[in-house]
Structure 1
Amino acid sequence: MELESQWWRGQLAGDIYHALRYKELKLPAYKGQSPQLSFRRYFADLIAIVSNRFRLCPTARHLAVYLLDLFMDRYDVSVQQLHVVALSCLLLASKFEEREDRVPKLETLNCLGCMTSMNLVLTKQSLLHMELLLLETFQWNLYLPTAAHFIEYYLSIAVHETDLHDGWPVSNVEKIGQYMAKYADYFLEVSLQDHEFLNFAPSLVAAACVAASRVVLRLSPAWPCRLQHLTAYHWEHLTACVERLLIAHDEDVKEANKQKCQQQQKQQVAPTVFHGSGAVSTVPQYLHRPALQFPQQNCLSLQPSSHGATSYMSHASIHAGAQPHGHLQPMPASLDTKVNIAFNRAYQVNGHYTSAAPCFDR
């Protein structure tokens, strides 16, 4: 989509916004019928971790997850192939949204720690084949608006000096605006983790992220007239989406508080490091989100071979006994590429987000 930096402040902002709203009316329908839907959260998190590693823009990350959702919704994809599909979606999205010099290179991608821990090695041929299948699936059209494409336009007027904070006038609009941007980014990431948010229009999800941020920051009114006029959404339109976001936020806060208590307990018995200079320091205990756990279903579809690597069962045998929902297309045999990957039942990807709400002071 290649929008210029801070497009929402330019003279064409209104025209660009209306073009995005018009385009979202023609987005493909999402049915949520993938037999591998239980794995969706894991692969969305994998995309987020890799995109954070390369510092890709939010629009590239959100477009990648959206491409993955639509592809899974149309094809009966084996769990093994979803790794190639997910990373191919990220590469395509980054090529569409980022500058060329920021697009991840194959060599660098294969050197990532998470790739090494998965024993996953991508090849140029496998990625090219998968990118071709993705482009053909979407008829070479990647102009697909996501919530990340709308959020900056809404944030441009999300905080105003006429707002009230806990019933008092806002004393520092710039500081509140910074917190607003952080919370909006957090809620955007929350919306990526649950496919149920695909039931809402991207512009509505973006508006709900701003509304939820205002609620958490205790700004009133929760949805002022200026935002209602800009987004064309009334509070009643946003309620269902905002509630989902706030529930997720409350759960994250509880989890963060729980980990904070555990951290404090560990600090009491934290190991001591002695430096050559005689100085003594305590090893810090960092608070982070739990490691992402790979679902255990279908892990038995992979069997160790005599060479110690993982051998691939046929596509039909993997899904034997599992009835796909709706009319899903099988993966084309010519593009059913294989990758070197090993699983175990306790498979984990170590990583965490950098913008969880409890991680910064309100």
Structure 2
Amino acid sequence: MGRKRMEEQWWKGELAADIHQTLRTKELKLPMYKAHSPQIGMRRYFIDLLTVLSNRCNLCPTARHLAIYLLDHFMDRYDITVKQLHIISFACLLLASKFEEKEDKVPKLEHVNNLACMCNVNVVLNKKDLLRMEMLLLENFNWNLCLPTPAHYIDYYLCVSIGENDLHNGWPITSLTKTKDFLEKYAYYFLDFSVQDHTFLHFRPSLIAAACVCAARICMQISPAWTTQLELLTCYSWEHLAQCIEMMFIYYENDIKEASNLKKQVTIQHQEQEAVENLSHQATTQVLFQQSSYHPLAQHSATLSQFQSPVQDLCSAYRDSLQAHRPSGLLAGSADSSLHSYATLQASLRPSAQTLPIQTPIAVQVALGTEPRHCISTACGSSYFSGHHSYTAGCFDG
């Protein structure tokens, strides 16, 4: 998944340490995530939707992660109907882009509507309703959008992600620049993993960013997995990161299995189509169409087969080390039990849900697939907002 660096690379400036310390102080005041939303089953779909929209708008990772953070905590505070979640998601994305990007990078309302249509979301937003939703979001976050996410830390930690004394497969690293470039891609790969499951919200954002760097070093077989320099910069030891890293590798292995199963399904479909065409060819004297030998995963199959086995072995080896350092808390037991422990933790956090103060909802027709990540087909009608939220001026260009 591609990403774009912001022009102001604060992590390379003279004030980098001060900015990092400020972010670490602010993250201590972040509200606790309780995973209490009745629509939490729809979360993965809306995360994927925000990811697609932010990539098409070429937004920076911090804007995307801030939008997801706003959506998560807003859903966690209110009992929101599925009919309203699309408007809220778009408002979160636009608010985050206004806060993290320059003015000329903020998506226009017309562009967002076009992208929503391309994603099979038949929602037509208007300025008035969207502005009211933005005002409601700002009021709920006390007009404070300076909320640290893992994306705010990761570039700072990547600055010291590779050192001259590091080893690759037990040998000195010949090119620090190339190795760091590959490690950066791995780190952002795990960073994207961190928003796929809400259980990662129980970790501090800075810890997740540090765990992404460490997990990337493990995947690339860089030793040691965690250096003294990284520990001093992040203020996290291996013991602090072990729980989060183990969860990342669990989801990473599941991702590899899903890719492998998808490859098998495509191969089977391809073989079935070839068999049908062969029968048709025997019954006719002329072949009008020939089945293409290309399928979407063909170009990645060789890489996947070479990459999957050593990483699984590496995960097993580091799980043994994780087992040795594992505290007696959430991760007691096997890797699977760690997820059940997180579910137990979430189940114990059940305050009463509030009702979102929005009246006369828009008319929306929703068609859900069997999996949350499928697109939702909707059709919007009139405004569903009450008129008691005041605002000053418009935020959008035509």
Q: TM-score by structure 1 length? A: 0.78
- Given residue 55 of structure 2, which amino acid in structure 1 is its aligned partner? N
Quote the residue 1:349 is aligned against: 375
Aligned to 1:243: 246
Q: Which residue of 39, 49, 61 corresponds with 1:36? A: 39
Q: Does 1:179 align with 2:182?
A: yes
**Aligned residue among 211, 223, 227 for 2:226:** 223
The one-letter amino acid of 2:354's match is Q
How far residue 115 of structure 1 moved from its aligned partner, in angstroms, is 5.2
Instruction: For 1:49, give the aligned amino acid.
Output: V
Between Structure 1 and Structure 2, how many residues are aligned?
A: 304
Note the C-alpha offset of 1:174.
Answer: 1.2
Which among 33, 52, 57 is matched to residue 60 of structure 2?
57
Q: Does 1:330 align with 2:330?
A: no
Residue equivalent to 1:285:
295
Q: Secondary structure at the match of 1:333?
A: coil
CA offset digits 1:149-178 (Å, max 9, x no partner): 000000011012211111111112111111
Show CA shifts across 1:207-250 (max 9, x none): 00011111111111001111011101010000110001111111
Deviates more, 1:26-35 or 1:143-152: 26-35
Q: Deviation at 1:13? A: 0.6
The equivalent residue for 1:117 is: 120
* Mapped contact 1:187–1:245 kept (Cα < 8 A): yes
Corresponding residue for 1:77?
80
Give RMSD over aligned pairs. 2.5
The structure richer in helix per residue is 2
> How far apart are 1:252 and its partner, in Å?
1.2
Distance 1:112 1:80 in 2: 18
1:301 counterpart residue number: none
> Secondary structure at 1:117's aligned position in 2?
coil
Q: Secondary structure at the match of 2:217?
A: helix
Offset of residue 86 of structure 1: 1.0
TM-score, normalised by the number of residues in structure 2: 0.71
Q: Contact conserved, 1:21 with 1:203, CA < 8 A, in 2?
A: yes
Contact kept, 8 Å, 1:110 with 1:116, in 2: the verdict is no
Name the CA shift for 1:211/1:116 in 2 (closer, same or farther; >3 Å): closer
- 5+ residue gaps, structure 2, are 278-289, 299-348, 377-398
The 5 Å alignment of 1:17-28 reads 17-28=20-31
Query: Max radius of gyration: which structure?
Result: 2
Which structure has the highest strand share of the two? 1
d(CA) in 2 for partners of 1:216, 1:259: 22
> Which stretches in structure 1 are left out of the alignment for 5+ residues?
272-279, 289-323, 351-362
Q: How many angstroms apart in 1 are the aligned matches of 2:352 and 2:148?
A: 26
> 2:375 corresponds to which letter in structure 1?
V
- Which whole-Å CA distance do the structure 1 matches of 2:15 and 2:291 have between them? 55
